[in-house]
Amino acid sequence: MDSIASGQFTPGPVLSTATFIGYQIAGIEGAAAATLGIFLPSFFFVLLLNPALPYLRRSPAVSRFLDAVNVVSVGLMAP
């Protein structure tokens, strides 16, 4: 209940909840491990895919798809 309550007033409730549960299980080390475990995969994906993006953009179909993903992302973030 505490993690859900704290997640309601902080950005990214799933991320906050993971850190909170890590803290509850193993203290500061658990919180750090849970936070790294939930953030690092996305950084690795960006690191691996960033060099390939210019090559993917050369394809008209993939380029349109990526443009659509950008538009949908902005639409989801808009109030």
Q: Using one digit for the tens of pLDDT, what is the confidence trace for 19-57?
A: 889 999 999 999 999 999 988 998 999 999 999 999 999
User: Within a 13 Å sphere around the CA of 1, how many CA atoms are in the beta-carbon half?
Assistant: 0
> What is the mean predicted confidence (pLDDT) over 51-76?
93
Q: Per-domain residue ranges for the chain?
A: 2-77
SS (H, E, C) 39-60: HHHHHHHHHHHHHHHHHHHCCH
Task: Compute the distance between CA of residue 32 and CA of residue 50 in angstroms, rounded to an integer.
Answer: 26
Task: Compute the distance between CA of residue 5 and CA of residue 13 in angstroms, rounded to an integer.
Answer: 9
Task: Compute the distance between CA of residue 70 and CA of residue 17 in angstroms, rounded to an integer.
Answer: 27
Task: Return the pLDDT at 77.
Answer: 84
